[in-house]
Structure 1
């Protein structure tokens, strides 16, 4: 009787230890398994399945892909995913072949090809309405100081879209409307981040200028230089910069009303140094013949449509893009324009790849290794943002930011996020999930 109790206790203890081990093991392993896999047609993908996991293919559409298993050792199987045609299907990962752990969706998509950029471009952007960049007091004809805008609840960073139901064109338009209404109360339509609200303001006549004011400094346009990332010949869409154009005073993303990209020449380069980022200074030229119109300014670059095909002097044919699962630490190159108004290819090293569920400008950590570029610029400088990153003959991303304390290093953005932001319909043969996890 006593021995039986001890045996039962020992068995119970063993079961608890076993399940605790499996539970802790699976928690670590589960997060490493993707729930969505995106692969190109005609390209294989490999998954390593370790004990106590197994693959269940009951829900697998074998007309889209096949799974082949190869035993590595007593603890691990290598699963080869072989796509057959474009489409979507799924399989399950199960614990001990019994308990469902994760349903994995697999999207087989057509290969996407784009012309890589590298050209230095000028960017001209007009905002929607005007952006509030400052508030100031007005000395009225009564000798007192007033700030009607602050009293009406306006703050720096707000965008004024309309006044009295009239869409605002530019800063001068605001001045004209205010002075046309004089000291009559006006209604402003304002955008603050993603919210729209209305407020009423009565202009004050300034004793200094003799004109009516509401106590605002506003901006309606910006311009600068950057680098083109890609051109998609089928849609004539382009992407550039890899990060947003923001207001210099507020740091806020500027909303696009209209704008264009034009040709730009590198006039001079201020070398990057530790603690002080360098800068490319460019000159716009052939402004009467812009490259394309600007449609979107997003956290992940600027996008629009080209007026005519864009060419690259190094890559005269479109090349494939690569998704993040194909990107590896190691050697790669970037395309950028430093001098002679000519695209050149420079060696870099990818030090880190951050697998991402959602878009982020810090997808990769890159280091400039090319002695020519280090000598010319000191590394990554402002104006180089958007320079395409190429690995194994595929476009994998774009340069986005420089490390302030080490200009030889910086961040890169996955090209898949830029393709998505551009609105290029690259999934026309299947219903594809929006993101991929690895």
Structure 2
């Protein structure tokens, strides 16, 4: 009898350990793949599948006004899946339950108007003037007595800070800074700076340099930059565009450059450096028609650069607008990109989406892309600098844009979901 009770106890403990492990690892792993919120366009239809032991349940009273769900509206199918067909814009809530009993996660479904964009692929030049001046170096100043002083560093200023104001005078550019300090006559000045999106102040007394007698702060600054990238999309209704899929950062500090103003200019590809393992390749281009910019740059963000095109003058054979795909529509498998190489025209190249990273918040590394097109591999070695922003298309929908290359394998790179980019551009306003 004692042996039987021991065996029974051991069995119960073993089963408990099994179920704890099952739910903590398997179930939670499956649930974490279910987004807490996603968008669906009017006119589309999707099937939400819930694997055992999960089921979807309806918890929104107004669901049948927004979404048509497989009958009856209040129940899931036997396998826990739901077929959703949008009726009109709005939001509704679904609930994920473990074993159909234990509420675990609420999923918000947003029905929004269908968004269509013209895919890009054109090589563009980007000119950016910073809001303020980025500090890229700190220098010692030798005063008239021959003493070396580090007044900027001693005031808590660091490389990567942005100088916004001097004595409440908004800084225009590097020359403007020199003019203000020159006219200070050695009196203390109050600097307003920004670091990690937070403003702070520093009081500094300019030093008269032994070298030329000018008053100085000991700062090296940069107020503008320029480069070549790829246009991702153009929205015909609003005139807005998105490009690059990642931020423009300072070459010396890696800091994101804040935009005061900037321009988008036509660019021609003049040479290509092939990408190799450990050494990213590069597309080199030159600006042309500089006096006739095609667009205004308004935002520089971790998700790309955005602004307004004055007109779409590109010779783009892919000018027909395409709907965008939301992340739940993107599948691992074949796709293609549009980009501009040495013939200075948009070309189509085959790729494969090898991984989709479902995201609840906007991030640049949404997908992993592998180049499968032999022509592109022969010409570039894969993904190279300058191709950032090249649109990714799957099943006749724009799904994203290339952002980064994997340095140790140039045939692969990251892509960003197009839904993050159109949101950053201010296009997918749910209330429009």
Residue 395 of structure 1: aligned partner: 398
Tell me whether 29-38 or 277-286 shows the greater mean CA deviation. 29-38
Tell me whether 122-131 or 357-366 shows the greater mean CA deviation. 357-366
The answer as to whether partners of 1:39 and 1:109 remain within 8 angstroms in 2 is yes
How far 1:111 sits from its partner (Å)? 1.2
- Residue 110 of structure 1, aligned match among 109, 113, 116: 113
Structure 2 SS opposite 1:350? strand
- Unpaired runs of 5+ residues, structure 2, are none
Distance in 2, matches of 1:125 and 1:97, equals 54
Residue 350 of structure 2: aligned partner: 347
The answer as to whether partners of 1:51 and 1:75 remain within 8 angstroms in 2 is no
The answer as to whether partners of 2:35 and 2:360 remain within 8 angstroms in 1 is no
CA spacing shift, 1:15–1:134, aligned 2, 3 Å = closer
How far 1:99 sits from its partner (Å)? 3.4
- Residue 338 of structure 1, aligned match among 313, 332, 341: 341
Residue 67 of structure 1: aligned partner: 69
Distance in 2, matches of 1:383 and 1:21, equals 47
Distance in 2, matches of 1:69 and 1:312, equals 49
Distance in 2, matches of 1:361 and 1:135, equals 32
How far 1:91 sits from its partner (Å)? 2.9
RMSD between aligned alpha carbons? 2.8
Alignment of 1:285-296 (within 5 A): 285-296=288-299
Tell me whether 29-38 or 261-270 shows the greater mean CA deviation. 29-38
- State the Cα deviation string for residues 316-345 of structure 1 (Å, max 9, x = none): 211111011111111111111112321111
Note if 1:138 corresponds to 2:141: yes
- Residue 86 of structure 2, aligned match among 63, 83, 88: 83
- Unpaired runs of 5+ residues, structure 1, are 430-438
Tell me whether 256-265 or 142-151 shows the greater mean CA deviation. 142-151
Note if 1:360 corresponds to 2:363: yes
Distance in 1, matches of 2:418 and 2:391, equals 9
Residue 37 of structure 1: aligned partner: 38
Tell me whether 395-404 or 103-112 shows the greater mean CA deviation. 103-112
Alignment of 1:211-226 (within 5 A): 211-226=214-229
How far 1:231 sits from its partner (Å)? 0.6
* TM-score normalized with structure 2 length: 0.91
Name the count of aligned residue pairs. 426
Residue 171 of structure 2: aligned partner: 168
Structure 2 SS opposite 1:49? coil
Residue 237 of structure 2: aligned partner: 234
Alignment of 1:167-206 (within 5 A): 167-206=170-209
Distance in 1, matches of 2:131 and 2:220, equals 16
Alignment of 1:401-416 (within 5 A): 401-416=404-419
How far 1:380 sits from its partner (Å)? 1.2
The answer as to whether partners of 1:113 and 1:318 remain within 8 angstroms in 2 is yes
How far 1:314 sits from its partner (Å)? 2.2
The answer as to whether partners of 2:132 and 2:173 remain within 8 angstroms in 1 is yes
Note if 1:46 corresponds to 2:54: no
* TM-score normalized with structure 1 length: 0.89
CA spacing shift, 1:390–1:97, aligned 2, 3 Å = closer
CA spacing shift, 1:202–1:107, aligned 2, 3 Å = same
Distance in 2, matches of 1:213 and 1:17, equals 70
CA spacing shift, 1:392–1:144, aligned 2, 3 Å = same
Distance in 1, matches of 2:407 and 2:210, equals 46
